[in-house]
């Protein structure tokens, strides 16, 4: 599969930027909504306090008094708003009194720019129609965006009748104007500060992402280089494991794979060396004898003898080739196991009879120790015959004249246990772990049996592995060797035999 190369770092940064953008949008939206709600709530609270002050001033004293005007101006400046107090004069005109930092300037603008729209707005409030957070209610008066709150308000009106002051309650309108720039200023200050903090955090996070991606990319790059070296047949390099996370576990897995490949390469080299040696010896003999017969070195009357030797060597080559092919099929799962029920004791006795001549020639003692007369197992009879044959043949090769071979069978748990033991040469401790490897004959057998090919025990173990079983070996030099393996029982048949 081909395509444009995109590095892991680039992919990480892309994902990070997308996530960061989404987070910033969500956080900014939520924060802005929260801040607007918060400042609006504070403004409402401030306006309610202002309204209480206005109500107290207007219901306690005449708003035209200097003390009342001073209190209204102070309240307006403290809350940073403009207070309009509107009344109807005796002639029916509308009188507007302005309080705050720009109160006098606004009153002047009202007197000069009192449009019909403005009058209708004020009259509407005087008639009891409140205004709640109305935007730009008086655009002809204010040059900037405003928010207006207006409501009907009772107030004390002082009348002088015949030199006597009389206080009566009248109804006017209170209009509070807030500049949106002043309202939004603290909101944007807080929001801007938050954005700066988020930008700073984002930069720190990006630096940490770059550092963390470097910690990932560096070992991955090393793995890539070592993988290429492995592909080229170089198994000498290992990855330095610096962490216990997935990357560290991957590095350990690659190191383990490298070691396995190294061992496999050593086994392959050893296999080629061994098979070359084992094939070369009979081929050299065959060629030598044939050349000697052709050039007259071997007289014609001896030809039948040496032709038989050539035939034996050819059979040995054929047997070795067949063993290698069979073993390859077994290891690749191409050799099907066909289990049947059979009496393993009977099969062992029949197999042992085939070695009777060799046993007599070496004056060996053959002993059978069966826990029960018949022991039925469920296995591939042809392959188990090969196992028994190879184990008895192996015992015969490495026993001395007068030694003994003992074959035992019994039951342990739910398994039949078969043991082939001898009192022969034994295997040294260094060679014992390698006894089931291909072409391994052990130091003792190299000089003792030059015709062996070192595949017999390998085939034995592979057959048993394909049955789901295994074989164990114990040995001491000069005291003999003991092979033990298990097979599944044929339960029903064994129960019938016991009855």
Q: Residues 353-376: pLDDT tens digits? A: 888 888 888 889 999 999 999 999
Q: Residues 305-323: pLDDT tens digits? A: 888 888 878 887 787 777 6
- For residue 306 the two structure tokens come to 């040496």
Q: Residues 436-479: pLDDT tens digits? A: 876 665 544 434 444 555 678 888 888 899 889 989 999 989 88
Q: What percent of the chain has pLDDT over 90?
A: 19
- What average pLDDT does the structure give for the chain? 81
How would residue 348 be classed by pLDDT, with cut points 50, 70 and 90? very high
Q: What percent of the chain has pLDDT over 70?
A: 87
Q: Residues 285-305: pLDDT tens digits? A: 888 888 888 888 888 888 888
How would residue 206 be classed by pLDDT, with cut points 50, 70 and 90? confident
**What does pTM read for this prediction?**
0.48
**Average pLDDT of span 57-77:** 88
């Amino acid at each position: 599969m081909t395509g444009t190369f995109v590095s892991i770092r680039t992919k990480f940064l892309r994902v990070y930027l997308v996530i960061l953008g989404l987070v910033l949008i969500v956080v900014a939206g939520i924060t802005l909504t929260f801040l607007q709600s918060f400042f609006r709530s504070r403004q409402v609270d401030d306006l309610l306090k202002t309204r209480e002050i206005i109500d107290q001033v207007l219901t306690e004293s005449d708003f035209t008094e200097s003390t009342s005007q001073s209190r209204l101006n102070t309240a307006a400046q403290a809350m940073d708003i403009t207070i309009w107090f509107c009344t109807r004069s005796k002639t029916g005109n509308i009188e507007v009194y302005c309080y705050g930092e720009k109160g006098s300037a606004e009153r002047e603008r009202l007197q000069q720019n009192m449009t019909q729209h403005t009058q209708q707005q004020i009259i509407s409030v005087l008639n009891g129609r409140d205004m709640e957070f109305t935007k730009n209610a008086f655009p002809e008066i204010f040059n900037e965006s405003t928010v207006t709150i207006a409501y009907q308000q009772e107030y004390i009106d002082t009348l002088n009748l015949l030199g006597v002051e009389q206080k009566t309650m009248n109804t006017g309108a209170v209009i509070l104007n807030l500049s949106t720039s002043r309202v939004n200023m603290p909101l944007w200050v807080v929001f801007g500060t938050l954005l700066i903090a988020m930008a700073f955090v984002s930069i720190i996070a990006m630096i940490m992402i770059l550092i963390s991606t470097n910690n990932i990319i560096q070992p991955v790059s090393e793995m890539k280089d070592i993988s290429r070296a492995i592909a080229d047949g170089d198994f000498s390099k290992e990855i330095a494991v610096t962490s216990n996370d997935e990357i560290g576990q991957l590095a350990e897995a690659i190191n383990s794979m490298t070691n396995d490949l190294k061992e496999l390469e050593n086994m392959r080299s050893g296999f080629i060396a061994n098979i070359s040696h084992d094939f070369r010896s009979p081929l050299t003999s065959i060629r030598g004898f044939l050349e000697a017969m052709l050039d007259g070195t071997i007289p014609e009357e001896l030809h039948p003898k040496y032709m038989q030797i050539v035939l034996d060597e050819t059979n040995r080559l054929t047997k070795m080739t067949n063993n290698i092919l069979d073993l390859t099929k077994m290891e690749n799962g191409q050799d099907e196991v066909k289990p049947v029920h059979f009496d393993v004791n009977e099969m062992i006795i029949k197999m042992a009879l085939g070695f009777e001549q060799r046993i007599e020639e070496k004056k060996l003692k053959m002993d059978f120790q069966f826990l029960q007369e018949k022991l039925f197992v469920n296995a591939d009879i042809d392959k188990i015959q090969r196992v028994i044959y190879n184990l008895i043949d192996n015992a015969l090769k490495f026993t001395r004249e007068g030694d003994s071979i003992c074959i035992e069978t019994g039951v342990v748990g739910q398994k039949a246990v078969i043991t082939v033991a001898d009192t022969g040469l034994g295997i040294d401790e260094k060679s014992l772990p390698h006894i089931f490897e291909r072409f391994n004959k052990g130091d003792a057998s190299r000089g003792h049996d030059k015709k062996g090919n070192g595949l017999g025990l390998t085939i034995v173990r592979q057959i048993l592995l394909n049955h789901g079983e295994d074989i164990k070996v114990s040995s001491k030099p000069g005291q003999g060797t003991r092979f033990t393996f298990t097979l599944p029982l044929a339960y029903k048949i064994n129960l019938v035999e016991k009855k």
